[in-house]
């Protein structure tokens, strides 16, 4: 019985959304671990920005519809900002 | 637009297809790219010509993984393609991920749709937050390829950068290769304005012209111009006829031998149908105009110099028809573009003229310019 199964899935989803926000919403890479350890609000704000842009319900949380949208095929050009 | 609003400073651009995907025949790739460029060409003064070698403004290539721009592709799914805003060098270029399965059809990843989107970037458009827009970043599959149209958001964006198509170019015909006429935004006060079709819709009046329609409502004195595709993405442009059956809250629109039923902004399932299912003989290829009499529950179809009457209750064409238009609507031009019922009169539109017909007196009472309804 995988005791940490839910936690692993949560981490994997979090990695996925962070990469998405870095690629398309100008989330700064170097501070990602600080966000994850100490303060999740910058990432929540970026999730909100992404949800608003893509026409999802704005919750600031990594809900199922947000995850589903992240997994859809898309154009590689950022939605916010520019190629960096 | 991209930060800094980069755009091409010229209106004639070159493109080159550097390599091809093995998923499709070369001709299919060429056709998809040409069609995708045509989407933007239709609504701007931009023109494009193809180069087979050398550096073109827009270099189009297929690649997998890392491909020289530090933005590697990621295998099947996720990132499908990317493109760079206008400028020199890599700018203006379009890259497709060749780990995708590129198709010509609605299934899989349709090359035309992705190319049209990426070329939007190459011309200076950034992503749109409007889910109806071609420039929305997430790929959607389209059931009906033939019905693809730009959204108003896309048109507004590209015309912000480059303006509308210019008239002289529309009429320009190259000596060796004819350029098909393009659809420009119609001018409501053009004295030569004619309508393709006119219909009521829930108390409003819609005047169809090319890819657009004017919407005259009680809520706004000024008629608003909209793209047909922004309300009904699957409907064609250049309609032939339209009429409302208010008891069914349905507008029927006609083009060629097909017709569609729309309720509000939804095209009803099961359409388009063939006009011959209404009882027209096979010799009838298109309808010129139509109007429904809600009191008698009859619909009148005008075809060339004759008209037919359809019984909405029995859903059948009535016997004794067609009849000559001039016999029952004396004074009306035999070729009718559109017809509208208002204030107890029938308004027949024919070219730039409009005939107000009193059905009780059986005579034309006034002749107006067609665009009088648009407050011109």
| Closest C-alpha among A9, A3, A20, A2 to residue A72 | A20
Residues 17-56 of A with CB under 8 A from B: 24, 52-55
Instruction: List the pLDDT tens digit at each of the 376 positions of chain B.
Output: 998 899 999 999 999 999 999 999 999 999 999 999 999 998 999 999 999 999 999 999 999 999 999 899 999 999 999 999 999 999 999 999 999 999 998 888 999 999 999 999 999 999 999 988 999 999 987 666 666 778 889 999 999 999 988 744 333 333 333 333 445 688 889 989 999 999 999 889 999 999 999 998 776 667 888 888 878 878 889 999 999 999 999 999 999 999 999 998 888 888 899 999 999 998 999 999 999 998 889 999 999 999 999 999 999 999 999 999 999 999 998 789 999 999 899 999 999 999 999 999 999 999 999 999 998 8
A61-68: long-range contacts (C-beta < 8 A, 24 or more apart)? A62/A13, A62/A14, A62/A17, A66/A17, A67/A13, A67/A16, A67/A17
- What is the Cβ-side half-sphere exposure of residue B92, based on CA atoms within 13 angstroms? 20
User: Hey, how many other C-beta atoms are within 10 angstroms of the C-beta on B358?
Assistant: 13
Per the DSSP assignment, residues forming a β-bridge with B290 are B301
Cis preceding linkage at B16, omega within 30: no
Q: What is the ipTM of this complex?
A: 0.85
Tell me how far apart the alpha carbons of residues B97 and B72 are, in angstroms, rounded to a whole number: 9
Distance from the B110 Cα atom to the nearest Cα atom in chain A, whole angstroms: 12
Residues 6+ apart with CB under 8 A from B13: B46, B47, B48, B49, B57, B58, B92
Instruction: Kindly state the DSSP code that residue B176 receives in the 8-state scheme.
Output: S
Distance from the B86 Cα atom to the nearest Cα atom in chain A, whole angstroms: 13
- Judged by CB atoms closer than 8 Å, whether chains meet at B137 and A24 is answered as yes
Per the DSSP assignment, residues forming a β-bridge with B342 are B345
Q: Which residue of B has its CA nearest to A81?
A: B3
pLDDT tens figures, A22-51: 999 988 865 445 445 455 678 889 999 999
How far is the CA of B351 from the CAs of B209, B292, B301, B305, B345, in angstroms?
Answer: 12, 21, 18, 15, 19
Distance from the B82 Cα atom to the nearest Cα atom in chain A, whole angstroms: 5
Q: Does B79 touch chain A (CB under 8 A)?
A: yes
């Amino acid at each position: 019985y995988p005791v940490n199964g839910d936690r692993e899935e949560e981490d994997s989803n979090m990695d996925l959304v962070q990469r998405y926000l870095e690629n398309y919403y100008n989330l700064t890479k170097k501070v990602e671990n600080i966000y994850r350890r100490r303060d999740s609000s910058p990432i929540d704000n970026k999730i909100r920005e992404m949800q608003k842009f893509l026409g999802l319900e704005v919750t600031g949380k990594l809900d199922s519809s947000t995850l589903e949208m992240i997994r859809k095929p898309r154009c590689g050009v950022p939605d916010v900002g520019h190629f960096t | 637009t991209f930060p800094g609003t980069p755009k091409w400073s010229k209106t004639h651009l070159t493109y080159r297809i550097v390599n091809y995907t093995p998923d499709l025949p070369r001709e299919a790739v060429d056709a998809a790219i040409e069609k995708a460029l045509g989407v933007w060409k239709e609504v701007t003064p931009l023109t494009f010509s193809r180069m087979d070698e050398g550096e073109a403004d827009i270099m189009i290539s297929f690649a997998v993984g890392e491909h020289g721009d530090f933005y590697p592709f990621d295998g099947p799914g996720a990132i499908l393609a990317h493109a760079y805003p206008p400028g020199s060098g890599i700018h203006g270029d379009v890259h497709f991920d060749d780990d995708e399965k590129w198709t010509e059809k609605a299934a899989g990843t349709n090359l035309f749709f992705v190319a049209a989107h990426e070329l939007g970037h190459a011309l200076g458009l950034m992503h749109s937050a409007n889910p109806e827009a071609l420039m929305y970043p997430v790929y959607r599959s389209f059931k009906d390829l033939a019905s693809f149209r730009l959204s108003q958001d896309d048109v507004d964006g590209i015309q912000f950068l480059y303006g509308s198509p210019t008239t002289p170019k529309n009429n320009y015909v190259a000596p060796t290769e004819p350029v098909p006429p393009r659809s420009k935004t119609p001018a409501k006060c053009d004295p030569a304005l004619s309508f393709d079709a006119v219909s009521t819709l829930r108390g409003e009046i819609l005047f169809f012209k090319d890819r657009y329609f004017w919407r005259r409502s009680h809520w706004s004195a000024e008629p608003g111009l909209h793209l047909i595709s922004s309300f009904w993405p699957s409907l064609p442009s250049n309609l032939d006829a339209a009429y409302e059956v208010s008891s069914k809250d349905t507008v029927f629109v006609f083009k060629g031998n097909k017709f569609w039923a729309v309720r509000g902004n939804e095209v009803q399932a099961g359409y388009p149908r063939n006009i011959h299912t209404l009882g027209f003989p096979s010799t009838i290829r298109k309808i010129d105009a139509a109007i429904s009499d809600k009191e008698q529950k009859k619909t009148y179809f005008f075809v060339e110099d004759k008209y037919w009457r359809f019984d909405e209750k029995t859903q059948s064409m009535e016997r004794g028809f067609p009849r000559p238009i001039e016999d029952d609507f004396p004074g009306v031009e035999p070729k009718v573009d559109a017809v509208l019922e208002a204030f107890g009169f029938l308004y027949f539109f024919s070219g730039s003229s409009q005939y107000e017909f009193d059905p009780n007196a059986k005579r034309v009472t006034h002749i107006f310019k067609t665009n009088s309804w648009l407050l011109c």
